[in-house]
Amino acid sequence: MASSAVIQPSVSPESLLEALLEDCRSALPRCDEHLIRKAFHFCLEAHKESLRASGEPYYTHPVEVARIVARDIALDDISVAAALLHDVIEDTEFTLQDIQAEFGSTIAEIVDSVTKISGIVENRTVTEAETYRKLLLSLIRDVRAILIKLADRLHNMRTLDVLPPERRRRIARETLDIYAPFAHRLGLANLKWELEDLSFKALNPEAYASLAQALQASRAEREAYIQGVIEPIERQLRLHGLRFEITGRPKNLYSIYQKMVTRGKPLEEIYDLFAIRIILDTDDSNECYFVYGLVTQLFTPIPERFKDFIAVPKKNGYRSLHTTVIGPEGRPVEIQIRTRAMHEIAERGVAAHFRYKASYGAAPRWDDDPELEEWIQWVRELFEKRSREEAAQELLESFRLNLYQDEIYVFTPKGELKRLPKGATPLDFAFAIHTEIGHHCIGAKVNGRIVPLNYKLQTGDQVEILTSKHQAPSRDWEQIVVTHKAKSYIRRYLNEQRRLKQQEGQHLLEKRLRKLHLNVRDEDLERIAHALKYDNRSALFYALGTGAITPELVIELLQRNGQPTAEPPSLPSPEQIAEAARQQSRGIELVGTSTDGTPLLYSYARCCNPIPGDDIVGIITIGSGIRVHRRTCKNVQDMLQNNHPRLVQLRWGNVGEEQFIAALRITGDDRPGMLHDITKAIVACDRTNIRSVNIDSYSGLFEGVFTLYVRNTEHLERIVDKLRKIRGVHTVARFESP
Residues that bind Mn ion (CB under 5 A): 87, 152
Catalytic residue of the set 18, 22, 90, 283:
90
How do strand 660-669 and strand 729-734 relate by DSSP bridges? antiparallel
Per the rule left: phi > 0, alpha: psi between -120 and 50, beta: everything else, 439 is alpha
CB closer to Mn ion out of 152 and 196: 152
H helices of 218-278, in order, are 219-239, 253-263
Cα–Cα distance, 248 to 269 (Å, whole number)? 19
> Please, what is the minimum distance in Å from the beta carbon of residue 242 to Mn ion?
44
> Please, what is the minimum distance in Å from the beta carbon of residue 114 to Mn ion?
8
> Please, what is the minimum distance in Å from the beta carbon of residue 727 to Mn ion?
42
Nearest to 43, CA basis, from 7, 83, 71, 72: 83
Cα–Cα distance, 32 to 22 (Å, whole number)? 12
Q: Is residue 90 annotated as a catalytic residue, yes or no? A: yes
Identity of residue 718: R
Q: Residue-wise over 579-595: b if at least 16 C-beta within 10 A, else e?
A: ebbeebbbbbbbeeeee
Distances (CA, A) of 703 to 454, 553, 593, 707, 730: 14, 42, 44, 13, 10
> Please, what is the minimum distance in Å from the beta carbon of residue 85 to Mn ion?
10
Contact 215, 274 (CB under 8 A): no
Cα–Cα distance, 395 to 387 (Å, whole number)? 12
CB closer to Mn ion out of 88 and 427: 88
> Please, what is the minimum distance in Å from the beta carbon of residue 7 to Mn ion?
14
CB closer to Mn ion out of 23 and 152: 152
Contact 178, 129 (CB under 8 A): yes
> Please, what is the minimum distance in Å from the beta carbon of residue 152 to Mn ion?
4
Q: For residue 633, give the 3-state DSSP assignment.
A: coil
Cα–Cα distance, 510 to 514 (Å, whole number)? 6
Residue 85 sits at the vertex; the CA angle it makes with 447 and 176, to the nearest 5 degrees, is: 65
> Please, what is the minimum distance in Å from the beta carbon of residue 120 to Mn ion?
15
When CB distances to Mn ion are compared, the closest residue is: 152
CB closer to Mn ion out of 148 and 233: 148
Cα–Cα distance, 350 to 452 (Å, whole number)? 42
Burial class (CB in 10 A: 0-12, 13-18, 19+), 693: buried
What sign does the dihedral 570-571-573-576 (CA atoms) show? Answer: positive
Cα–Cα distance, 18 to 715 (Å, whole number)? 79
How do strand 626-630 and strand 602-604 relate by DSSP bridges? parallel
CB closer to Mn ion out of 195 and 723: 195
Q: For residue 205, give the 3-state DSSP assignment.
A: helix
Nearest to 347, CA basis, from 233, 226, 247, 222: 247
Catalytic residue of the set 91, 373, 504, 556:
91
> Please, what is the minimum distance in Å from the beta carbon of residue 86 to Mn ion?
6
Residues found in the chain: 738
Cα–Cα distance, 677 to 726 (Å, whole number)? 7
Contact 716, 696 (CB under 8 A): no
Burial class (CB in 10 A: 0-12, 13-18, 19+), 606: exposed
DSSP string, 553-567: HHHHHHHHTT-SEES
Burial class (CB in 10 A: 0-12, 13-18, 19+), 469: exposed
> Please, what is the minimum distance in Å from the beta carbon of residue 672 to Mn ion?
31
Contact 133, 181 (CB under 8 A): yes
> Please, what is the minimum distance in Å from the beta carbon of residue 24 to Mn ion?
19
CB closer to Mn ion out of 152 and 614: 152
CB closer to Mn ion out of 61 and 630: 61
CB closer to Mn ion out of 152 and 428: 152
Contact 221, 350 (CB under 8 A): no
**How far is C-alpha 633 from the geometric centre of its chain's CA atoms?**
45
Nearest to 710, CA basis, from 660, 654, 669, 674: 660
CB closer to Mn ion out of 167 and 469: 167
Cα–Cα distance, 525 to 530 (Å, whole number)? 9
Other Cβ atoms less than 10 A from the Cβ of 406: the count is 10
CB closer to Mn ion out of 66 and 716: 66
> Please, what is the minimum distance in Å from the beta carbon of residue 12 to Mn ion?
22
Distances (CA, A) of 30 to 20, 26, 78, 404: 14, 10, 10, 32
CB closer to Mn ion out of 117 and 544: 117
CB closer to Mn ion out of 49 and 223: 49
Phi first, then psi, for residue 357 (nearest 5°) are: -85, 95
> Please, what is the minimum distance in Å from the beta carbon of residue 64 to Mn ion?
9
Strand ranges (E), 281-384? 300-301, 307-308, 321-326, 332-339
CB closer to Mn ion out of 35 and 148: 148
> Please, what is the minimum distance in Å from the beta carbon of residue 87 to Mn ion?
4
Which of the residues are catalytic? Answer: 90-91
